[in-house]
């Protein structure tokens, strides 16, 4: 009788662990940019411990214009004087003409180019954090000094020196 109860308890424990594993595996990866959730038509995935996201959504949200060259399978993102160029299957990425190696090469999944979110977001000067418990990527844009004071009601320039 004790063996039978032990087997049942063990079976229940294994079932509960598997259910927890499956539930966590199905938890979608969320990406927040400055606190606002981004939505993708292809879900972000983890490849070789790197969170991969659809490139167009990230770059456009960061204010970049995107160009696709189907012949070379190259994507170019431009924002002001910053140019980021990457090619499907190549770990090297060009940032303003400087070649930098990524841990994981861009891939195409369901017709969308996915790139390592940390690398491409940081190429645009943002901070990136990951919360593995909630499967969430947090991207924070830097505050521009001029923008801060344009929105601020207090005009420090009118106060003179020392204020």
Domains, the chain, ranges and CATH? 29-155 (3.30.457.10)
What is the tens place of the pLDDT at every residue in 24-57?
A: 455 899 999 999 999 999 999 999 999 999 988 9
Beta-sheet strand order (sheet of 127-131): 36-37, 30-33, 136-140, 127-131
Scan for tokens 């411990």, then name that residue.
49
d(CA 79, CA 155): 29
pTM of the model: 0.69
d(CA 126, CA 124): 6
Among 81, 147, 77, residue whose Cα is nearest residue 119: 77
The pLDDT assigned to 1 comes to 59
Pairing of the two strands 74-79 and 82-87: antiparallel
For the chain, helix, strand, coil in percent to 5 are 30, 35, 35
d(CA 47, CA 61): 23
- The answer to whether residue 74 scores a pLDDT higher than 80 is yes
Q: Which two tokens stand for residue 134?
A: 């909630």
Query: pLDDT grade, residue 8 (50/70/90)?
Result: low
Pairing of the two strands 136-140 and 30-33: parallel
């Amino acid at each position: 009788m004790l063996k039978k109860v032990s087997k049942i308890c063990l079976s229940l424990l294994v079932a509960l662990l598997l259910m927890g594993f499956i539930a966590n595996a199905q938890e979608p990866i969320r990406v927040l940019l400055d606190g606002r959730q981004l939505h993708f038509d292809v879900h972000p995935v983890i490849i070789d411990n790197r969170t991969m996201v659809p490139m167009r959504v990230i770059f456009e949200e960061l204010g970049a214009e995107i160009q696709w060259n189907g012949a070379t399978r190259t994507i170019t993102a431009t924002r002001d004087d910053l140019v980021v160029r990457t090619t499907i299957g190549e770990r090297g990425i060009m940032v303003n003409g400087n070649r930098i190696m990524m841990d994981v090469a861009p891939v195409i999944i369901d017709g969308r180019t996915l790139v390592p979110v940390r690398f491409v977001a940081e190429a645009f000067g943002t901070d990136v954090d990951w919360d593995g418990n909630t499967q969430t990527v947090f991207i924070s844009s830097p505050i521009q000094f001029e923008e801060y004071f344009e929105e601020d009601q207090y005009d420090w320039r009118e106060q003179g020196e020392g204020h």
